[in-house]
Amino acid sequence: MEEHDIICTGCPKGCQVTIKTEGDKITDIYGYECPTGKEYAINEFKNPTRILPTTVKVEDGEFPLVPVKTAAPIPKSDLIKAMNFIAEKTVKAPIEIGDILIENILNTGVDVVATRNIKKESEV
């Protein structure tokens, strides 16, 4: 039997929820104070995911970087790998908000999209 402590991020209270497991099976869950807390803890235990906000290098842009995010959450365990992948990437201005800059990053099925318009340097 294993115990996993998860802090719920649903509200400022930050309840510590404990999940007891045997193999893949959850045998007990306690510490939550609302249904959101329970649901959050189970998801966070089974498949913790995060939106990754970062930047991508830009060529010929009014700024040297474009801010980006993963269009949907990706597995938490992929965050650093995704950064390594993004670090190699350079995109050309102009860029529009919502442009897909990297498709299906790390085969997660999730795209990396621009979150700001970047004009060409020569057009500023």
Partner 1 sequence: MTKHKMVVVGAGPAGLAAALEASKNGIDDIIILERDKYLGGILPQCIHNGFGLEYFGEELTGPEYADRFMRDIDQAGIEVLTETMVLNINQDKLITALNKTKGVLKIKAETIILAMGCRERTRENIQIPGDRPAGILSAGTAQRYTNIEGFIPGKEVMILGSGDIGLIMARRMKLEGADVKAVLEIMPFSSGLVRNKVQCLDDFDIPLKLQHTITRIEGKKRLKRVEISKVDKDFNPIKGTQKWINCDTLLLSVGLIPENELSKAMNLKLHPATGGVYVNENRETELKGVYACGNVLHVHDLVDWVSEEAEIAGRSAAEYLNKNQEKRDLPIKITPNKNLTYTVPQKIEYKFKDKKFIKIYLRVEKPMENVKIVFSHNEKSMLSYDKKIVMPGEMVTVNLPVALIKKNMEEIKLSIVEKVGEKNGRT
Partner 2 sequence: MMRIIIIGAGVIGTAIARELSRYEIDIVLLEKTADVANGTSKANSGIIHAGYNADFDTLKGKLNVKSNPVFDKLCADLKVPFKRIGSYVVGFNEQDLKELKKKKENGEKNGLDDLEIIGQKQLISQEPNINKKAKYALYAPGAAIISPYELTIAYANNAVINGVQLLLNTEVNDLISDDGQIKGVKTNQGEIKGDFVINAAGLYSDKIARMAEDNFKIKPRKGEYHLFDKEYGDLVNHILFPMPTKKSKGILVLPTVHGNILIGPNANTIDDKDDLSTTSKGLNKVLNGAKRLIPEIPEKGVITSFSGLRAALSSEDFHIDFSENLVGLINIIGIQSPGLSSAPAISDMVVEMFKNYSLRENYELQLKKDFKEKNSKLPHYYEYEDKGKLDDWQKIVEKHEDYGEIICRCEHVSRGEIIDAINAPVPAQTIDAIKRRTRASSGRCQAGFCGPRILQILADQLNIDPLEVSKKGSGSQILRARSKQLILEKIKEDKRAGDQ
Site residues for partner 1 per CB under 8 A: 7-9, 11-14, 50-55, 57, 63-65, 67-69, 76, 79-80, 83, 87, 97, 115-117
Minimum CB separation of residue 87 from partner 2 in Å reads 4
Q: Residues 26, 42, 65, 71: which binds partner 2 (CB under 8 A)? A: 65
117/67 Cα distance (integer angstroms): 9
Minimum CB separation of residue 62 from partner 2 in Å reads 14
Nearest CA to 78 out of 48, 56, 101 is that of 48
Tell me the two tokens of residue 123.
């057009």
Strand order through the sheet with 90-92: 90-92, 53-59, 65-70, 112-114, 100-102
Is 55 one of the binding residues for partner 2 (CB under 8 A)? Answer: yes
21/18 Cα distance (integer angstroms): 10
Q: Which residues pair with 107 in a beta bridge?
A: none
88 binds, among partner 1, partner 2, none (CB under 5 to 8 A by kind): partner 2
Minimum CB separation of residue 91 from partner 2 in Å reads 13
Minimum CB separation of residue 66 from partner 2 in Å reads 11
Question: What are the two backbone dihedrals, phi and then psi, of residue 3, each rounded to the nearest 5 degrees?
Answer: -120, 135
In the complex with partner 2, the residue whose CB is nearer, 90 or 107, is 90
